[in-house]
């Protein structure tokens, strides 16, 4: 045995064999690790020759998922050659690109299609490098092939989406924009360029360098736009007046939002623009109409009431007075009946101009309706001064006026009340001025009277009418007349309106103008309205029982009825008692009624609509309607007031107003009805402008129950086409009934 520390005679130097085993073991471990990595790849690692068939010398296990063939099948060639899997349309291109890489010994990346074993076509991306094969002139190609079908589909989807977006952007009818925070256009579409009067989007971007100063008529609108964006991150229906390229002014409505990046940094604003000039102008016409008389252009009752309130407040602060002068033209009805409404309206216009010439800028002249006007005179503290003004008005109105080659003189009667002496609210002042005006008429007309408490003659007349109303309510001395409505699309009778009269032994049938105001003020209108509701429903049901075509009957609601909680109960009871379906009842309300307390009215109307009753706004254009509220009212139709219909063919403004009302009604999906149609020309205009229905003397005056039944039975038998109705209309006198 060898001694410790010394080598035996046959022993080898320690460490070399062991080190070799360690190296071999390490290499084996690396190979296994590499093999595991290669096996886990989704694609295929390969090595092949650069011959015509690209003979494979190595392929990783990923080839099975990629091609459907195992590595052994590709290497042996028994399954398929890889070149044979390449799509026929791509083979030549791939061969050329790889040949170019071989010539330059460059790396290459190509994409092409292969047909897998199961017949599916896949897009693949091949990345490879060329290396020399020993000493021969041949080369080896080594690389990696992966399936990129899904990636290409995503790219194609993005490209399609971008094309669709670009198409929408380029072909949209609305203007689309992106602007910088400083007010510079970043991107606009052709529609916006057209709206602003430019030839192309590039022209807009180049020309408009400062939106605030160059675009908006009111530069403060841009600041308001920015403020809303900062507070809300968006704007909706932002309406502004802007300048087009040629200087023309138009109105636009913008809807826009602020765009931020992932870090919350504001990048730009983007949105849409719509030209709303026509809508804006129509709205302005309607708003003007709501505050001004259509015939004279003077402020109407609503605007007059508002101005009087303002003048009273000013007078209180200044310790001064306000005079209210109510003017009524003498015998105006005679002029209307003799020369016609057209000449009567010309007289009203002439009187309006003459009165305006007598007043100061701080005064107001308004038309209440018919032949009644009101003067509001501020700061007149002495009776002498008021007398001088009223004398001037009397003389101006009485100046000769030419009509049909004749000179006529029209006088007036004026009643004056003074704030605060004769009243401290609008209604009291008007009532007392009205009392003084009737006193002036009693004293021979063509004079003026100041109100005094002892003017009781008018009050006595009112008391007499009140007594008449009480007797009529107790004895049910009321009668309903019915006027048919005609549907212009079919030419058939499409409904009827119930019109109230009082049957008086001495005066005959009294129209509502004689008693409705007193009935409202005394509260009798509630009982009268309930009677009308019951009678109209009962009559309508009787028509159905006769086998006649079912019609909807319309009745007018009063302001007091509308504001009473019992209205819904009354309507339900009337329908139940008559056994009439709710769809055959229509309730008409005036604009002033629905605007008195809009929120309360909306709630009541919604209950009536839920019951099934149809609702409509009567005399549209004579009161005041907020368009914001109008679209919230659950009404189905608008009735154009007859004062506008009467002017058709004679006044361009009246025609424009009627068109605007029809357009507004249709835009709100409402049926539009014209009342007071008296001539064939009016009918033709309404048909041309797509009015839905009409009523008026051209077709029929209001009829008693028996006469209306006879009319309905006759028309049910005779009229079965619109052509027949037209022939029938043309055969009637201008103011006759059917």
pLDDT band at 669 (very low <50, low <70, confident <90, very high): confident
Q: Are 635 and 605 in contact (CB under 8 A)?
A: yes
DSSP 8-state assignment for residue 614:
E
Query: What pLDDT, on a 0 to 100 scale, did the predictor assign at position 735?
Result: 37
Q: pLDDT confidence of 722, banded at 50, 70, 90? A: very low
Which is more confident, 444 or 13?
A: 444
Average pLDDT over residues 649-663: 85
The contacts of residue 424 (CB under 8 Å, 6+ apart) are 312
Q: Same CATH fold, 483-730 and 35-151?
A: no
Q: Is the pLDDT of residue 704 over 90?
A: yes
Predicted local distance difference test score (pLDDT) of residue 23 = 54
Give the three-class secondary structure for 360: coil
Evaluate if residue 195 carries a pLDDT over 70.
yes
What is 172-275's CATH topology?
A: Beta-Lactamase (3.30.450)
* DSSP state, residue 239: E
Q: Please say if the pLDDT value at position 538 is more than 50.
A: yes
Overall CATH class of domain 35-151 = alpha beta
Question: Residue 226: what pLDDT?
Answer: 92
CA distance 366 to 324: 11
Strand arrangement of the beta sheet that strand 364-369 belongs to: 364-369, 372-378, 322-329, 412-419, 448-450
User: Does 9 score more than 60 pLDDT?
Assistant: no
Q: What pLDDT band is residue 432 in, cutting at 50, 70 and 90?
A: very high
Whole-number percent of the chain with pLDDT over 70: 86
Q: Among 396-410, 584-598, 703-717, which is the least confidently predicted range?
A: 584-598
Rounded Cα–Cα distance for residues 527 and 517 (Å): 14
Whether domain 296-455 has CATH 3.30.230.10: no
Q: What is the pLDDT of residues 129-177, one digit of tens each?
A: 988 766 556 788 999 999 999 988 888 888 777 777 676 677 777 899 9
pLDDT at 408: 77
Give yes or no for residue 721 having a pLDDT over 50.
no
Closest to 439 in 3D by CA, of 359, 334, 547, 328:
328
pLDDT at res. 298: 94
Among the ranges given (568-577, 593-602, 705-714), the one the predictor scored with the smallest mean pLDDT: 593-602
What integer best gives the mean pLDDT of the chain? 84
Of residues 540, 673, 566, 565, the one with CA closest to residue 618: 673
For residues 502-522, average pLDDT: 80
Least confident of 96-100, 141-145, 389-393, 724-728: 724-728
Of 90-104, 179-193, 419-433, 447-461, minimum mean pLDDT range: 447-461
Query: Which has the higher per-residue pLDDT, 16 or 643?
Result: 643
CATH topology of domain 483-730: TIM Barrel (3.20.20)
* Dist. CA 256–CA 221, nearest whole Å: 14
Query: Residue 625's pLDDT is what?
Result: 55
Domain boundary assignment for the chain: 35-151, 172-275, 296-455, 483-730
Task: Summarize the confidence of residues 676-691 as an average pLDDT.
Answer: 91
């Amino acid at each position: 045995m060898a001694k410790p520390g010394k080598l035996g005679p046959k022993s080898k130097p320690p460490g070399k064999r062991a080190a070799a085993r360690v190296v071999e073991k390490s290499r084996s471990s690396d190979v296994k690790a590499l093999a595991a990595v290669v096996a886990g790849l989704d694609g295929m690692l390969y090595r092949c020759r650069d011959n015509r068939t690209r003979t494979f010398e190595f392929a990783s296990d990923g080839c099975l998922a990629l091609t459907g063939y195992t590595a052994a099948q590709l290497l042996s060639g028994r399954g398929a050659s890889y070149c044979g899997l390449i799509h026929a349309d791509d083979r030549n291109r791939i061969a050329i690109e790889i040949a170019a890489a071989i010539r330059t010994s460059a790396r290459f990346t190509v994409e092409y299609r292969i047909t897998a074993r199961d017949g599916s076509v896949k897009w693949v991306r091949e990345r490879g490098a060329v290396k020399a094969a020993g000493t021969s002139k041949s080369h080896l190609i080594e690389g990696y092939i992966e399936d990129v079908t899904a990636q290409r589909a995503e790219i194609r989807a993005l490209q399609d989406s971008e094309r669709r977006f670009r198409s929408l952007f380029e072909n949209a009818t609305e203007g689309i924009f992106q602007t910088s925070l400083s007010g510079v256009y970043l991107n606009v579409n052709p529609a916006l360029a057209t709206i602003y009067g430019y030839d192309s989007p590039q022209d807009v971007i180049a020309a408009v360098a400062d939106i605030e100063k160059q675009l908006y008529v009111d530069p403060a609108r841009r600041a308001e736009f920015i403020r809303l964006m900062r507070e809300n991150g968006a704007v909706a229906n932002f309406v502004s007046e802007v300048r087009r390229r040629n200087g023309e002014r138009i109105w636009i409505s913008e809807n826009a939002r602020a765009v931020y990046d992932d870090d919350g940094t504001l990048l730009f604003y983007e949105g849409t623009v719509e030209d709303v000039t026509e809508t804006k102008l129509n709205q302005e016409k309607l708003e003007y109409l709501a505050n001004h008389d259509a015939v004279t252009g003077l402020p109407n009752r609503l605007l007059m009431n508002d101005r009087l309130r303002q003048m009273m407040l000013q007078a209180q602060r200044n310790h001064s007075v306000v005079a209210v002068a109510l003017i009524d033209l003498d015998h105006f009805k005679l002029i209307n009946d003799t020369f016609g409404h057209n000449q009567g309206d010309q007289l009203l216009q002439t009187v309006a101009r003459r009165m305006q010439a007598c007043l100061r800028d701080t005064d107001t002249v308004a038309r209440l309706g018919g032949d009644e006007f009101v003067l509001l005179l501020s700061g007149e503290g002495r009776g002498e001064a008021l007398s001088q003004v009223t004398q001037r008005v009397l003389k101006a109105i009485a100046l000769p006026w030419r009509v049909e080659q004749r000179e006529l003189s029209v006088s007036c009667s004026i009643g004056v009340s003074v704030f605060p002496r004769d009243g401290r609210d609008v209604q009291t002042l008007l009532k007392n001025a009205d009392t003084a005006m009737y006193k002036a008429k009693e004293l021979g007309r063509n004079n003026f009277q100041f109100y005094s408490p002892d003017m009781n003659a008018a009050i006595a007349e009112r008391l007499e009418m009140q007594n008449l109303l009480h007797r009529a309510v107790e004895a049910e001395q009321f009668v309903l007349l019915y006027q048919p409505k005609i549907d212009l699309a079919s030419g058939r009778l499409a409904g009827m309106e119930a019109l109230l009269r009082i049957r008086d032994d001495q005066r005959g049938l009294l129209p509502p103008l004689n008693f409705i105001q007193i009935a409202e003020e005394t509260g009798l209108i509630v009982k009268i309205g309930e009677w009308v509701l019951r009678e109209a429903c009962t009559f309508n049901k009787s028509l159905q029982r006769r086998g006649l075509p079912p019609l909807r009957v319309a009745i007018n609601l009063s302001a007091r009825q509308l504001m009473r909680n019992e209205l819904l109960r009354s309507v339900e009871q009337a329908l139940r008692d008559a056994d009439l379906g709710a769809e055959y009842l229509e309730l008409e309300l005036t604009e002033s009624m629905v605007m008195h307390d809009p929120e309360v009215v909306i709630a009541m109307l919604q209950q009536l609509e839920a019951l099934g009753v149809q609702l409509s706004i009567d005399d549209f254009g004579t009161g005041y309607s907020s368009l914001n509220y109008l679209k919230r009212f659950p009404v189905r139709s608008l009735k154009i007031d007859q004062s506008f219909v009467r002017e058709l063919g004679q006044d361009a403004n009246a025609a424009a107003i009627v068109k605007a009302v029809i357009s507004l009604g249709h835009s709100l999906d409402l049926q539009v009805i014209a009342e007071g149609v008296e001539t064939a020309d009016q009918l033709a205009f309404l048909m041309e402008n797509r009015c839905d229905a009409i009523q008026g003397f051209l077709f029929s005056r209001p009829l008693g129950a028996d006469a209306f039944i006879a009319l309905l039975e006759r028309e049910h038998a005779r009229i079965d086409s619109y052509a027949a109705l037209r022939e029938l209309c043309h055969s009637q006198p201008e103011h006759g009934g059917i």
